[in-house]
């Protein structure tokens, strides 16, 4: 109201009106659905690779020596660089998935590796004597690793959201929230840009909250 110019700063009413317009179109829901699919796919891929690399580098010092510089390189390289490099040889719709996985991998990798290395060796040795390998994993090893893994997994989901939206803005897949935001910016539809931003924030918060509840329930099994 103070600015008096919806092009610079739309009012809350105009923004909510644009949110309603987005949610009443098939294209809007298609963009939301495909973006969510890319986030989940990239996140799960990143978690899987991160855990696999953590197990590898925590048990084999040669692998740790060879791969540790790669982890540092991935952590420090900007998301935009990965997206632009991948655009040369990868289909635009897949770029956000790969970028999200690249962002998630080093976070899961480092935390899981540290958790594996810091577990109690004495407890592991005692469990080897008295328990079967499966029971040792279930009752001794996992309870020492999973709390830290769950904590990082929850945080990395938010980074996956940012990575996918950024990669969509750069790669411009046929459908996606980032594609819609880039198109809207070109036409100076500020209220719609605010609407998409508000939707992204709300969906991210809801998704992270739901994920934390699932992790909390899963973690209770190992308390």
Q: Which pLDDT score is estimated for 216? A: 76
Per-residue model confidence (pLDDT) at position 183: 85
pLDDT at 222: 55
Per-residue pLDDT at 5: 66
Q: Which domains does the chain have, with CATH numbers?
A: 13-220 (1.10.3720.10)
Distance CA 44, CA 36 (A): 12
What's the pLDDT at 223? 54
Residue 195, both tokens: 């609407």
Q: What is the pTM of this model?
A: 0.87
Contact criterion met (CB below 8 Å) for 93 and 30 = no
Query: DSSP letter string over 155-220?
Result: HHHHHHHHHHHHHHHHH--SS-HHHHHHHHHHTT-HHHHHHHHHHHHHHHHHHHHHHHHHHHHHHH
Low-confidence ranges of the chain (pLDDT < 50): none
pLDDT for the residue numbered 78: 87
For residue 5, the Cα-to-chain-centroid distance in whole angstroms is: 36
């Amino acid at each position: 109201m103070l600015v008096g110019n919806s092009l610079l700063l739309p009012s809350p009413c105009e923004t909510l009106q644009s949110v309603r317009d987005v949610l009443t179109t098939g294209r809007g829901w298609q963009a939301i659905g495909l973006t969510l699919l890319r986030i989940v796919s990239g996140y799960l891929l990143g978690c899987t690779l991160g855990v696999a690399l953590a197990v590898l580098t925590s048990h084999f010092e040669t692998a740790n020596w060879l791969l540790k510089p790669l982890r540092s390189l991935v952590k420090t390289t900007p998301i935009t660089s990965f997206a632009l490099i991948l655009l040369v040889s990868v289909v635009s719709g897949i770029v956000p998935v790969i970028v999200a996985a690249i962002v998630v991998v080093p976070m899961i990798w480092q935390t899981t590796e540290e958790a594996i290395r810091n577990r109690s060796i004495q407890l592991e040795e005692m469990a080897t004597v008295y328990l079967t390998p499966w029971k040792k994993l279930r009752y001794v090893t996992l309870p020492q690793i999973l709390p830290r893994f769950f904590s990082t997994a929850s945080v990395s989901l938010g980074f996956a959201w940012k990575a996918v939206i950024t990669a969509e803005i750069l790669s411009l897949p046929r459908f996606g929230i980032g594609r819609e935001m880039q198109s809207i910016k070109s036409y100076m539809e500020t209220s719609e840009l605010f609407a998409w931003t508000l939707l992204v924030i709300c969906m991210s918060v809801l998704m992270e909250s739901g994920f934390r509840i699932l992790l909390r329930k899963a973690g209770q099994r190992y308390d």
